[in-house]
Structure 1
Amino acid sequence: MQVMVPLGRLPRIEQAGLSLHGHLKKEQFLMHGVWGLHVYFYSGKLRFQGEEFNIRSGTASITPPDTPLEWEFPDHAPHYYIHFVPGSSCGEPTDSAKGEDYIRPFQVINGPFEYFDTYVRDMELIGSICKEEPLRASVCLWNLLWRISDSNAYFEPPQDSLPSSVQIAVSHINQNYSTPIVIEELAAHSGVSHNYLILLFKEHFGCTIEAYIRRKRCRQAEFLLRHSSLTIKSIAQAVGIPDINHFNKTIRKELGAAPSKIRGSRSNR
């Protein structure tokens, strides 16, 4: 499951700190009007909206506001937490705060992170300064959320955990996303029927094959917009969406901002 978080403005921190759970095996919470960021040092479970998510040490969760949440804990369950309101300007609004928000997709469970210690240090710092230096804490949280988004917004299962037919299909998409891809031909190339490949993608990626291809193209487009000097028209052609109007609409819908906004944001990060 993904949740969409606006990151176009500084977040406002309501609470932050270190919590120790485990004296109760299960606890339920409802955070009114605030999002939750939790960084974990234990294995447990998180449940909401009828779904269950496995927590592991070295991961972080993003949970939406006004949603009943249930955690299942081991005997000793420490985690850092931040309750925040996204999209709130702190102090004088910047040009970014006046403009269109960047709506970013997050997995409910993000990670595990290769440099988990840096996330822990950020959470410790934010918890220690959020009352005395709220603006600085908000900037730190904003940066942390962007890093999590960049690292894990498009998390996929490891290739070797996928059925061979899906591995073949994914490899074909990765090599050919810049050209038209016909789903029937992709299925034949993968050695399974069209309908069965659709079921496999929904099972392993939670989306249709068309949505997976679109996501791949948008990921590559975002990278090129942020890190290359190619024109937007050239990027559209390079990722297989040569119609510039369709490209603009697709990027706006998938990434929450127009290509020109994404390109402009690289100088502000």
Structure 2
Amino acid sequence: MHIQQLSPYIRVAMDSKVPFPWQLEERVLYDYELLYVMEGQVSVTIEDQEYEGLPGDLFLFRPKQRHSIRKVGSGLLRQPHLHFDLIYQHDSPDVRVSFKPLAAIAEEEKRWFREDLLDSFSVPLSSHLRLRNPIVIEKMLLDIIKEHQMKLPFYEMNVKGMFIQLFIHLLRENYWNENPHVLTNMDELVKLRNYLKHQADQKVKLEQLVDFSGISKYYLIHLFKKTFGMSPIQYHQMLRIEKAKEMIQFTDEPLSLIAETVGYPDLQSFSKAFKKADGVSPSFYRKRNG
């Protein structure tokens, strides 16, 4: 599944509060569940792996994945949670929340099992996330629960958008957990990106960026690519072409002057770079605008 296909359906949204001893026996779900530990402590077992759940922790349960939950201690356990499909299907409103082990699932109920699509993402979500910034996730979860329960006009669309925002935060949290070295250098990388934006009128060399950032050449390329999906030189090239594209469409400046404005020595080299980046010649945008 490509992330652009994401069209979530929120089945259940609850802020559960448990003041007494409690245990959820082993079960499998038809859908996904996100469970956030807001207060108290739990012991969670997922496919025979046991996890300690503390305030600020988030758990993800997948379709058909064996799991059980046990409250630890005598205080209040508060656990906001969502049951959802990643992609809306014709039977999404009919699917129920399961409390059964796999062996007890009836044949007619097996049609409700969703396909687990999460591993198709470049950085699959972990079953247990110890959040760096739990307050942000907590607020987003509680806002989704409130909206889902109030059921104001068009709440379905709003809940879907709110969930996508939450999901993006979780993917990023997971990505930073998997790549802590990127997060450590984030301030320098953001400064470098801003520097490149202000150099869109000229060609830059990698040595300049090394001097500016103070990061060694090959490590800089690795970090930048991990963060922004391309090398710093590729990113700068993209900025120059985008600036040129805007000028072509919204000014009457000759293409040769535009080429010079974005740092190319002549129209030929500009046209070659433009076509390589965008798939069409610069004149395509001028003709279309005209």
Alpha-carbon distance in structure 1 between the residues aligned to 2:26 and 2:170: 24
Evaluate the alpha carbon distance shift between residue 223 and residue 22 of structure 1 in structure 2; reply closer, same or farther with a 3 A threshold: same
| Residue 227 of structure 2 corresponds to residue 223 of structure 1 | yes
Instruction: Report if the CA contact (8 A) 1:107-1:153 is conserved.
Output: no
2:61 maps to 63
The 5-angstrom pairing of residues 132-171 of structure 1 reads 132=151, 133-155=155-177
Q: Distance in 1 between matches of 2:180 and 2:164?
A: 28
- Cα distance change, pair 158–139 in 1 and its aligned pair in 2 (3 A): closer
**For 1:72, which of 61, 70, 73 is the aligned residue?**
70
The TM-score with structure 1 as length reference comes to: 0.52
Contact 1:29–1:70 (Cα < 8 Å) also in 2: yes
Deviations 1:203-258 (A, max 9, x none): xxxxxxxxxxxxx95x75241227x76428x9xxxxxxxxxxxxxxxxxxxxxxxx
Q: Partner of 2:83 in structure 1?
A: 83
Q: 1:140 to 1:89 in 2, by over 3 A?
A: farther
Aligned twin of 1:33 = 30
Task: State the partner residue of 2:126.
Answer: 107
Q: Normalising by the residue count of structure 2, what TM-score does the alignment of the two structures yield?
A: 0.48
2:136 is matched with 118
Q: Please say which structure displays the higher CA radius of gyration.
A: 2
Percent sequence identity is: 10
CA distance in 1, matches of 2:217, 2:173: 21
> Which of the pair is proportionally richer in strand?
1
Secondary structure of the residue aligned to 1:37 is strand
Letter in 1 for 2:142: E
| Mapped contact 1:7–1:142 kept (Cα < 8 A) | no
Contact map agreement 1:122 1:144 (CA 8 A) in 2: yes
Residues 54, 157 of structure 1: CA spacing in aligned structure 2 closer, same or farther, 3 A cutoff? farther
Number of residue pairs the alignment of both structures matches? 168
Structure 1 residue matching 2:21: 3-state secondary structure: coil
Please give the alpha-carbon distance, in whole angstroms, between the structure 2 residues aligned to 1:177 and 1:29.
51
Asked whether the 8 Å contact 2:60–2:128 carries over to 1, the reply is yes
Q: For the Cα contact (< 8 Å) 1:6–1:104, is it kept in 2?
A: no
Gaps of 5+ in 2: 91-119, 182-214, 238-276, 278-290
Structure 1, 137-146 or 150-159: larger mean CA deviation: 150-159
SS at structure 2 position matched to 1:139: helix
What is the CA distance between 1:89 and its match in structure 2?
Answer: 8.0
Counting only pairs closer than 5 Å after superposition, residues 230-249 of structure 1 correspond to structure 2 as 230-231=233-234
For the residues of structure 2 that align with 1:79 and 1:6, how far apart are their CA atoms? Answer: 30
Aligned partner of residue 53 in structure 1, secondary structure: strand
Letter aligned with residue 231 of structure 1:
Q
CA contact (8 A) 2:224 2:232 kept: no
Do the aligned partners of 2:225 and 2:232 also contact (CA within 8 Å) in 1? no
- AA aligned opposite 2:131: P
Secondary structure, aligned partner of 1:121: helix
In structure 2, distance between residues paired with 1:109 and 1:178: 33
Q: 1:51 to 1:130 in 2, by over 3 A?
A: same
Change (3 A) 1:147 1:113: same
CA–CA separation in structure 1 for the residues paired with 2:165 and 2:79: 20
Pairwise CA distance, 1:82: 0.5
When the two chains are superposed, the root-mean-square deviation of aligned CA atoms in Å is 3.8
